[in-house]
Amino acid sequence: MGLTSRPLLYAMIALSVACVGLTVWLWPRFAGRGPRAVLGRLGAIAATQLAVVAALGLVVNTNFQFYASWHELLGLYDGAPAAVGKWGDEGAAGPAGDPTKGLVQPSGPEGLDKVHGLPKGPPEKNGKVETVRIVGKRTRVVDPAYVYLPPQYFQKQYARQRFPVVVALSGYPGGIFLLGQHLRMPETAAKLVRDGTLQPTVIVMLRPTIAPPRDTQCVDVPGGPQAETFFAQDVPEALKSHYRVGHDPGAWGLLGYSSGGSCALQLAMRHPGTYTAAAALSPDYKVSNDPTTGNLFGDGKDRGKRREEHDLMWRLAHLPSPDVNVLIGTSRSGEKNYPAARAFLAAVRPPMKADSIVLDHGSHNFATWRRELPAALQWMSRTLVFPEEVVGKS
């Protein structure tokens, strides 16, 4: 059974209930003082606690999709992004990671069938959300994605029109399910487009973790996963090959929360020729090694230089300011990142521009980010340029 399957969840809940019942029933038999009675009590307590904790863990993981498979949970993909199996209709679409089969390939549900509030009905009236897998031409990374397409994408008068695109990144270790279900990205975008406060925009929802369970922080790891290359080069090239999205950087933006927000800032500031806007909700402002990342900077002579260049405060102080617009979401109380956010905003210099969403109180959670999301999307709508180019002429 799959890690997120309902049968496994229900079986573990049933096992937990059975363990509790057996413990209550057998407890009088373990009332003595001998070794067997003591071991019996300890065994009953341990078995019951393990079953309950496992059931609670499955409930949380099924709801938040932190790990989508046993392989991710056990870390079997930690070596490199190339070791992927076949997918699709018994592999009929070709081996995953093979760019000759297309840079955007069909995918299964990827949890989309569990997301509430998706557009329903005719796509030309309500828009549509589809699931795909994006294949890196250079990195051969495969990353699942939800793609929100606005109603105008399907309307005849827009048949040759290209659209602005926002690449939305989840935090770590979560995946695209969190962007759909808990951040409510498709539901919010559809409402704003319907109300006319968000220009018709293609929103591509991705997880920044390309080699789960390792947190690669959107960094090209020496001898390891090339996350920066994937998001800065492979993803835009793949989307341009498959969807009617703008080819000019002015039509491209990034949006993310937590570590996804950190990635959004890193990618925009390091690649202003690809992304010209980034909205970051509760981000960090530098990349550091920790137990989830491993060694991100390698052991070569350029290790220190690589670390410095992924420190955004260092970049603002020592490198030319990039021509990008950024939006920072933070809270005066409830989050630890408010002082760092103020320092970052104060360090921004032209031609870079910065705006902020500052809540009086908000914790590091989806309740906070959902409050910030509509304003962030509307800011993105005002910042990105609706492409003038049309299909067949660019």
- 368: closest CA among 282, 280, 284? 282
Q: What is the pLDDT of residues 304-314, one digit of tens each?
A: 999 999 999 99
pLDDT of residue 275: 98
Which residue is associated with the tokens 């990142």?
337
Q: Contact at 8 Å (CB) between 206 and 170? A: yes
> Residue range 341-345: average pLDDT?
97
* 289 φ, ψ (degrees, to nearest 5): -75, 140
> Residue range 85-92: average pLDDT?
31
Amino acid (one-letter) located at 354: A
The chain-wide mean pLDDT, for the chain, equals 87
- 261: closest CA among 230, 278, 231, 283? 283
* 333 φ, ψ (degrees, to nearest 5): -135, 150
Who wins on pLDDT, 235 or 49? Answer: 235
pLDDT of residue 91: 33
Q: What is the pLDDT of residues 1-45, one digit of tens each?
A: 666 666 877 888 888 898 888 888 877 877 777 787 788 888 888
Strands (E), the chain: 104-106, 128-135, 142-149, 165-169, 202-206, 252-257, 277-281, 325-333, 353-361
d(CA 383, CA 370): 20
Q: How many residues does the chain have?
A: 394
Task: State the pLDDT confidence band at 238, using cuts at 50, 70 and 90.
Answer: very high
Q: Contact at 8 Å (CB) between 224 and 177? A: no
Q: pTM (2 decimals)?
A: 0.79
d(CA 50, CA 282): 34
d(CA 69, CA 32): 44
d(CA 373, CA 351): 25
Q: How far is CA 259 from CA 53, 118, 262, 361, in A?
A: 27, 25, 5, 20
- 179: closest CA among 153, 161, 157, 203? 203
Q: Contact at 8 Å (CB) between 16 and 52? A: yes
Residue 71 reports pLDDT greater than 90: no
User: What is the token pair recorded at 95?
Assistant: 């081996």
> Residue range 94-123: average pLDDT?
85
Task: State the pLDDT confidence band at 74, using cuts at 50, 70 and 90.
Answer: low
* DSSP three-state, residue 205: strand
Residue 94 reports pLDDT greater than 60: no
pLDDT of residue 368: 94
The CA angle 330-334-338, to the nearest 5 degrees, is 40
Which residue is associated with the tokens 């559809």?
190
Lowest mean pLDDT among 118-122, 250-254, 281-285, 333-337: 333-337
Who wins on pLDDT, 74 or 367? Answer: 367
- 106: closest CA among 81, 128, 121, 89? 89
- Per residue, the 3-state secondary structure of 100-127, as one string, reads HHCCEEECCCCCHHHCCCCCCCCHHHHC
pLDDT-above-90 percentage for the chain: 66
User: Taking the mean position of all CA atoms in its chain, how far away is CA 206?
Assistant: 5
Q: What is the pLDDT of residues 130-141, one digit of tens each?
A: 999 999 999 999
pLDDT of residue 359: 94
Task: State the pLDDT confidence band at 81, using cuts at 50, 70 and 90.
Answer: very low
| 349 Cβ contact list (under 8 Å, min separation 6) | 316, 321
Which residue is associated with the tokens 């089969």?
101
For residue 173, whether the previous peptide bond is cis, meaning omega lies within 30 degrees of 0, is yes
